Chain A
Amino acid sequence: MSLTHLNLSNTDIIGNIPSTISHLSKLESLDLSSYRQVGLELNSFTWKKLIHNATNLEEIYLDSVNMSSIKGSSLSMFNNLSSSLVTLSLAFTGLQGNLSTDIFSLPNLQGLELSSNQNLGGQFPKSNWSTPLRHLGLSSSAFSGEIPYSIGQLKSLTQLVLSSCSFDGMVPLSLWNLTQLKYLDLSQNKLNSEISPLLSNLAHLTSCDLRGNSFSGKIPNIYGNLTKLEFLDLSYNKLESQVPSSLFHLSHLSNLDLSSNKLLGPIPIEITKHSKLSYVGLGYNMLNGTIPHWCYYLSSLLFLHLGYNRLTGSIGEFSTYSLQYLVLSKNNLHGHFPNSIFELQNLNHLHLSSTNLSGVVEFHQFSKLKKLTFLNLSHNSFVSINIDSSADSMSPYLYSLDLSSTNINSFPKFLARLPNLKTLDISYNNIHGKIPKWFHKKLLNSWENIQYIDLSFNKLQGDLPIPPSGLQYFLLSNNNFTGDISSTFCNASSLKVLNLADNKLKGMIPKCLGTLPSLSVLDLQMNNLYGSMPRTFSKENSFATIKLNGNKLEGPLPESLILCTKLEVLDLGDNNIEDTFPNWLEILQELQVLSLRSNKLHGTITCSSTKHSFPKLRIFDVSNNNFSGPFPTSCIKNFQGMRNLNDNQIGLHYMGNSDYYNDYVVVTMKGLSMELTKILVTFTTIDLSNNMFEGEIPKVIGELNSLKGLNLSNNGIAGNIPQSLSYLKNLEWLDLSRNQLRGEIPMALTNLNFLSFLNLSQNHLEGIIPTGKQFDTFGNDSYEGNAMLCGFPLSKSCKNEDWPPHSTSEDEKESGFGWKAVVIGYGCGAIFGILLGCQVFLTGKPRWLARFVEHMFNIRLKRRNNRANANRRRMN
């Protein structure tokens, strides 16, 4: 055959490329590529023969051809590629292994495209890289390490695409000498250091994408030279400077994304008359000042994201109606809701949550926005949304509506006319009364795409709505729903999170809930449910959180719980469950929180002696039961999850990954019953209080060195306080009251530097109370009821000891605000501070930030009657 050019690209032909293709020895150009993988294969034998015979080949395009059989040593055949080769394009071919540097040094090669070969790596030439290469594409490949200085020798390079690899270190300064570059994409790597001002050398640059690296420091204000720049993306870095004003004088720039950095200062107010900006992303920074005027009149603007900053002032009136996407959420804006928003005919996304706007919004105005798909007005407690005003024809495309915390007090009727709802959030409002009948009908018959419904924190009454089959998130907690949970709930087989907590639900829990395959959070706590908990959990279930506490559940614990291999939180506290200790749960390798408090559990607590029993348990609460027998040493000594946790190493992480659900739990902390809205991964407690445990405290407890709280009060525990307790360096509260403890208080306990609550009262302890450090902060009630104890702070002084007078404590009691109160306040406050602070700084999820205010109110301090008697005195 005399064929020199063969192009069968994108023709849907499939199969193994026959080796006879190598008979085309005159071939100069071969294109069998495809923009999607169709099933063409090229094996290493054919490839070898082809490049051996077709020595005139100048162009090879085999993108999406499966060449995955060419790996390891057979990759070396690339070294035999014809030196006449001008273009080699092998993206998405499944090539694997390490390419030698030779391929980069082919003397005539102008285009090399090896992108999307995740297991293909190699080395760049470290020197002598002066080739006529114009295009180099290696995105989503296994190339890594530093970009070598030699890249600066590729003087003809116009396109450099090294995105989504693992390049790290600094960008070599030589790269900024590639003055022919038009297209530069280094996004999604680990490049760091500052962005060099030499960037201004690249006068031909039209597109520059450096997103998703670790670039830090300033953005050089040097963009005046880059007159051809159309696209600039520096988002998701650690840049700290101001927004460079020179960017806004570039008349060709249409796409500017600097979001998710640490940018400070105001947004430049001056902009060139010829600006073509259509996409402006400045969200998730720390920008202050006001929204610049050009945002309102620039007629090219389609996308404007200024959310999650510190912008102040009011939102002005728009005089151009080009905008399609507008995000101003989470700023310090105030003033009236701008009416001109309703004139933005092309708007499809509008996010104005947490903007402190005021005034009245006539909701029917939104029906003017015929293309609206996404509307978020949440957390605007000063705006009064007139939801009753008839919204005749809202955009039929509206699929996401968030009106959480917007002072709505009736169920929005216009929802009935939305055909395509996918997510609905009207939580944290004052909606009262029953859910209208049309909503039940819409749910089951019309809204085929609905995935997310949040009606929680309202005053809704009556029966629960039935979730439709496609629903994934059904959040109805903290309402006044009555009635029972229908077994038709189980038709919602896609459910991931079902939260019906804090209602007045009665009846039994449908047995079938345990068989929903995707359900990961089942929260039915604080209702009036009775009967037994679901007894059949299917294999391969997804449960991570089961919270059924605060009901009237009875009967034994279902052994099929051991099938919940992903279970992290099991809270069955405050029920009437009668059973022995479920030590068979010890095989759940992910279990971190086990609360069985306040039930009718009895018998001894023992575990198998394997090291893998309860390996991750961090909160173990069996208080207020009828457990008896010796101290549960066999369990406690295996709690690997309570050892060697390091706040600094782990960082302040919280449990759970869901944006839509917090794992929270009630624990008794420093004598107070508290609800932790989010559980720190390093939060570790053991509560065995109010049972009938006997025997001694084992020494081994000193190995649980991450323990923050230990409560053994009101048992029959005898013997001495072990010295090893002093190894619990993280201990913040220790309650051993109402036991039969004897002997002296170990001096070593004064080494517990974080101890802020100590209760040793009502025992048979004797001798001198240790002093120094934290022990100087505890009051009488820490020790009372121990007839043989003496010394500070008790009024009984020890023989032969000369303790200072105690008159000060009397004075303070009268003043009502003594040093004890300060200390207790400080201790509790510190815990609160950490919990709250970390929630804000570390989650980084917009949804969390948006809900920050609500969570503040969620950290509720509860004093439980049965626990508080002793503590009330302290707090008063």
Chain B
Amino acid sequence: MGSFFILLPYFTFHLFLFLLFTHFTSYTFSLCNLHDKSALLQFKNSFSVNNSSQPDIESRCSSFSFKIESWKNSTDCCKWDGVKCDTMSGYVIDLDLSCNNLKGELHPNSTVFQLRHLEQLNLAFNDFFASSVHLVLVI
């Protein structure tokens, strides 16, 4: 029992180091471009994820996921499901949210169009409520 109290400061120090390390990896060493990250989070918030999926779409999606649920402000957006970044610049270059049961309108001012370095965009099998393609493809 006594030895526990002797070692306590030792444990505490290591706990401190551990917390410090994790803090740096999530904030200081984050690859994600902050502008892209905020654009993605705003994009996420403009949709609802419909858990009661439409059966006809579901049958055409080999797997059905809720990738966007994993998107948290506290984590590196380059590690979010469906997101790939350029390993050098940290810009988002690939966004794949197909078969994700997104529901909502896609607006011309949607922040997804602020991802300037995007090379691949896959939003297949979602429900954008008959949004006008004219407004969606603001290129």
Interface residues of A (CB under 8 A from B): 1-18, 20-21, 23-24, 31-32, 35, 38-40
Name 6 interchain pairs, CB-CB below 8 A, sorted by A. A6-B120, A10-B124, A11-B125, A11-B126, A11-B128, A12-B127
Given contacts A3-B121, A3-B139, A13-B133, 9 further A-B contacts (CB under 8 A): A2-B119, A3-B120, A8-B124, A11-B106, A11-B126, A12-B129, A13-B106, A16-B133, A20-B138
Interface residues of B (CB under 8 A from A): 57, 60, 98, 106, 116-134, 136-139
Q: Is there an interface contact between B119 and A12, defined as CB atoms closer than 8 Å?
A: no
Q: Which B residue's beta carbon lies closest to that of A7?
A: B122
Chain A nearest Cβ from B104, distance in angstroms:
11
Q: Is there an interface contact between A31 and B124, defined as CB atoms closer than 8 Å?
A: yes
Q: Is there an interface contact between B136 and A8, defined as CB atoms closer than 8 Å?
A: yes
Residues on the B chain within 8 Å of A21, using CB: 137, 139
Which of B122, B133, B138 is in CB contact (< 8 Å) with A15?
B133
Residues on the A chain within 8 Å of B57, using CB: 10
The secondary-structure label for the interface of chain A is: loop
List 8 A-B pairs, minimum CB-CB distance, nearest first: A5-B120, A7-B122, A9-B124, A15-B132, A15-B133, A10-B125, A20-B139, A13-B133
Residues on the A chain within 8 Å of B122, using CB: 5, 7
Cα A6 to Cα B133 in complex, Å, equals 13
Of A7, A8, A35, the most chain B CB neighbours within 10 A belong to A8
Cα A788 to Cα B105 in complex, Å, equals 100
Q: Is there an interface contact between B60 and A35, defined as CB atoms closer than 8 Å?
A: yes
Q: Is there an interface contact between A1 and B136, defined as CB atoms closer than 8 Å?
A: no
Of B116, B126, B131, B139, the most chain A CB neighbours within 10 A belong to B139
Q: Which A residue's beta carbon lies closest to that of B59?
A: A35
Q: Is there an interface contact between B120 and A12, defined as CB atoms closer than 8 Å?
A: no
Q: Is there an interface contact between B127 and A14, defined as CB atoms closer than 8 Å?
A: no
Q: Is there an interface contact between A13 and B121, defined as CB atoms closer than 8 Å?
A: no
Cα A21 to Cα B120 in complex, Å, equals 15
Residues on the A chain within 8 Å of B139, using CB: 1, 3, 18, 20-21, 23-24
Residues on the B chain within 8 Å of A20, using CB: 137-139
Q: Is there an interface contact between B137 and A17, defined as CB atoms closer than 8 Å?
A: yes
Cα A39 to Cα B133 in complex, Å, equals 10
Q: Is there an interface contact between A7 and B133, defined as CB atoms closer than 8 Å?
A: no
Q: Which A residue's beta carbon lies closest to that of B119?
A: A4
Cα A9 to Cα B122 in complex, Å, equals 8
Chain A nearest Cβ from B129, distance in angstroms:
6
Residues on the B chain within 8 Å of A13, using CB: 106, 128, 130-133, 136
Chain B nearest Cβ from A60, distance in angstroms:
15
Q: Which B residue's beta carbon lies closest to that of A6?
A: B121
Which of A5, A7, A8, A10 is in CB contact (< 8 Å) with B119?
A5
Q: Which A residue's beta carbon lies closest to that of B61?
A: A10
Chain B nearest Cβ from A256, distance in angstroms:
26
Cα A472 to Cα B28 in complex, Å, equals 75
Chain B nearest Cβ from A771, distance in angstroms:
80
Q: Is there an interface contact between A4 and B133, defined as CB atoms closer than 8 Å?
A: no
Q: Is there an interface contact between A12 and B128, defined as CB atoms closer than 8 Å?
A: yes
Chain B nearest Cβ from A596, distance in angstroms:
58
Residues on the B chain within 8 Å of A39, using CB: 130
Residues on the B chain within 8 Å of A2, using CB: 116-119
Cα A21 to Cα B127 in complex, Å, equals 21
Cα A768 to Cα B67 in complex, Å, equals 105
Cα A11 to Cα B133 in complex, Å, equals 10
Q: Is there an interface contact between A40 and B60, defined as CB atoms closer than 8 Å?
A: no
Q: Is there an interface contact between B132 and A14, defined as CB atoms closer than 8 Å?
A: yes
Cα A10 to Cα B128 in complex, Å, equals 9
Q: Which B residue's beta carbon lies closest to that of A40?
A: B133
Residues on the A chain within 8 Å of B126, using CB: 10-11
Of B123, B125, B137, the most chain A CB neighbours within 10 A belong to B137
Q: Which B residue's beta carbon lies closest to that of A38?
A: B130
Cα A835 to Cα B47 in complex, Å, equals 70
Residues on the B chain within 8 Å of A3, using CB: 118-121, 139
Residues on the A chain within 8 Å of B136, using CB: 8, 13
Q: Which A residue's beta carbon lies closest to that of B126?
A: A11
Residues on the B chain within 8 Å of A40, using CB: 133
Residues on the A chain within 8 Å of B134, using CB: 15-16, 18
Q: Which B residue's beta carbon lies closest to that of A33?
A: B124
Chain A nearest Cβ from B128, distance in angstroms:
5
Q: Which B residue's beta carbon lies closest to that of A23?
A: B139
Q: Which B residue's beta carbon lies closest to that of A32?
A: B133
Cα A23 to Cα B57 in complex, Å, equals 31
Cα A3 to Cα B138 in complex, Å, equals 13
